[in-house]
A and B are shown apart, each in its own frame.
Chain A
Amino acid sequence: MIIVANPEMRVSVITPEDLRAIYTGARSQLPDGSHVLPVTLKGGPAHEVFLMNYVKETPDQFRTAWRKAVFTGQGAMPRAFESEAALLQFVASTPGALGYVSRVVPGDKVKPLSVLPPPH
Chain B
Amino acid sequence: MLSRTHLLVVLCLVSSLCAQDLEGIQIHGFATQGFLFTSNNNYLSMRSSQGSLQWTDGGVSLVDSLSDHLRVGIQLHMYQLGDLGGPNIQVDWASGDYRVNDHLGFRAGKVKTVTGLFNDSQDVDAVYLWTLLPQSMYPIDNKSFLLSHLGGEVYGDLRLGGRRGDMQYRAFAGQANLDSTGGYVKQLADLGLVFTNPPGGRTYGGDLRWVAPWNAFTMGSSARVQAVDGTAPAGRLHVPPVVITSHYVQFNHKKYYAAVEYRREPINPTIIIGQTVIHSPADQHVWYVMGSYDISKRLQLGSYYSHYINAAADSSLPNNYSKDWDLSGRWNFNDYFYAKLEGHFLHGTALGYYTSTNPGGLKPRSNMLAARIGFSF
Binding site for B on A (CB under 8 A): 17, 20-21, 24, 26-29, 33, 35, 37, 56, 58, 60, 63-65, 67-68, 70-77, 79, 96, 118-120
Contacts and interface: CB of A to CB of B under 8 A. Distances in A.
A31 B135 CA distance: 42
Interface residues of B, number: 43
Nearest to B252: A61
Contacts of A65: 127
Contact of A71 (B59, B101, B111, B157): B59
Contact of A72 (B26, B65, B112): B112
B324 interface: no
23 contacts: A20-B214, A21-B166, A28-B68, A33-B101, A35-B68, A56-B214, A60-B297, A64-B126, A67-B28, A67-B124, A68-B121, A68-B124, A68-B127, A71-B30, A71-B121, A71-B124, A71-B126, A73-B93, A74-B97, A74-B112, A79-B21, A118-B162, A118-B213
Contacts of B166: 21, 26
Contact of A26 (B97, B124, B211): B211
Interface string B200-220: 000000000001011110000
A4 to B, nearest CB: 19
A40 to B, nearest CB: 13
A71 B332 CA distance: 19
B265 interface: no
Contacts of A74: 97, 112
Given A24-B215, A28-B99, A73 B127 contact: no
Nearest to B215: A24
Question: In the complex, which of the residues A33, A68, A71 has the most CB atoms of chain B within 10 Å of its own CB atom?
Answer: A71
Contact of B127 (A64, A77, A79): A64
Contacts of B68: 28, 35, 37, 96
Contacts of B157: 21, 26-27
Given A24-B215, A26-B168, A60-B297, A73 B95 contact: yes
B59 to A, nearest CB: 7
A21 to B, nearest CB: 7
A119 B69 CA distance: 29
Contacts of A73: 61, 63, 73, 75, 93, 95, 97, 107, 111-112
Given A27-B102, A71-B59, A71-B124, 17 more contacts: A20-B215, A21-B157, A26-B102, A26-B211, A29-B102, A56-B214, A56-B215, A64-B126, A67-B376, A68-B124, A68-B127, A72-B124, A73-B97, A73-B112, A74-B97, A118-B213, A120-B163
Contacts of B107: 73
Interface string B332-348: 10010000000000000
Nearest to A27: B102
B297 A77 contact: no
B83 interface: no
Nearest to B111: A73
Contacts of A75: 71
B289 interface: no
B350 interface: no
A37 B68 CA distance: 8
Given A26-B168, A60-B332, A118-B162, A77 B112 contact: no
B102 A70 contact: no
Contact of A118 (B73, B163, B168, B297): B163
Nearest to A63: B335
Nearest to A68: B127
Contacts of B335: 60, 63
Contacts of A27: 102, 157
Interface in B112-153: 112, 120-121, 123-124, 126-127
